[in-house]
Amino acid sequence: MIKIFLTKLSSIKLAYQPLTRTLLLAAMAVVMSLSFSIRAAHANVSLMVLGDSLSAGYGLSQADSWVSEIARDWQANHPHLEIINASISGETTAGGLNRLPDLLERHQPSMVFIELGGNDGLRGFNLTTMENNLREMVALIESRNIKVALSEVEIPPNLGRRYTEMFKQVFHDVAEDMDIPLVPFFMREIAIDESLMQNDGIHPNLAAQPIIATIMEPQLRQLLEKEVLAEQASSGQTQFKQAKPTYLQTEFRQHKTGISQ
């Protein structure tokens, strides 16, 4: 009798195993869909930084870069905003243009901040080619209905005053002609302070990263609020209001920088 009972119990367990697996898979699917919905609701606006070693955190852990500093600030204080770091050391405008289509497809950002050109200048590349690359990037981004902003870039006067001035003017011309925001070069105040630079005299060190974040955070957030969130609000796509100033924005007022357009 006991043997018969155990045999029947075993058959019952086997019969219910497929049902148990089905219920478990269904529960996992629900949890995954909820997780996606929560993330989409909170990080509904993203900014992708397309830069070179100055934004990639050259010589440092990527977690210590100024972009990561802003990411942590936004996660804590502005969870509806997300910043994506697509920067790599040594990148040129040609390299950025080549990578851009895949990056846009992969990350689908609301806005792209281009911080490229420094390596073109340091290597003495043709400025017309550099300018054309920047223009193509802007055009490609805008063709996907994505907002774009451009960083001003400056280089040491090693290649002569004429080349240096022409180099700097490229960014102003592109921004003006294509009617996009131009953000002042964030290294302007950092590069003149040796205590904030690595031994190569080109890249900012670990101590400089929070300072750069202090300079850049309110500017990038302002761009998202003005260019993306305001447009979404007018079309009824979002109910988010412009964020209140944070401690980073308060500290930023001590710096003589701003956004021109």
Give residue 119's identity as a one-letter amino acid code.
N
Residue whose C-alpha is closest to residue 55's, from 236, 258, 252, 220: 220
Give residue 242's identity as a one-letter amino acid code.
Q
What DSSP element (H or E) covers 50?
Answer: strand 45-51
Tokens representing 139? 């055009």
Q: Which residue has the tokens 């992969």?
A: 106
CB-CB contact of 124 with 118 (8 Å): no
Catalytic residues: 53, 200, 203
Bridge partner residues of 18 (DSSP): none
CB-CB contact of 68 with 51 (8 Å): no
CA distances in angstroms from 171 to 102, 110, 155, 165, 179, listed in the order given: 24, 22, 12, 11, 12
Bridge partner residues of 111 (DSSP): 47, 147
Q: How many Å apart are CA 20 and CA 27, to the nearest integer? A: 11
Please tell me what DSSP assigns to residue 195: G
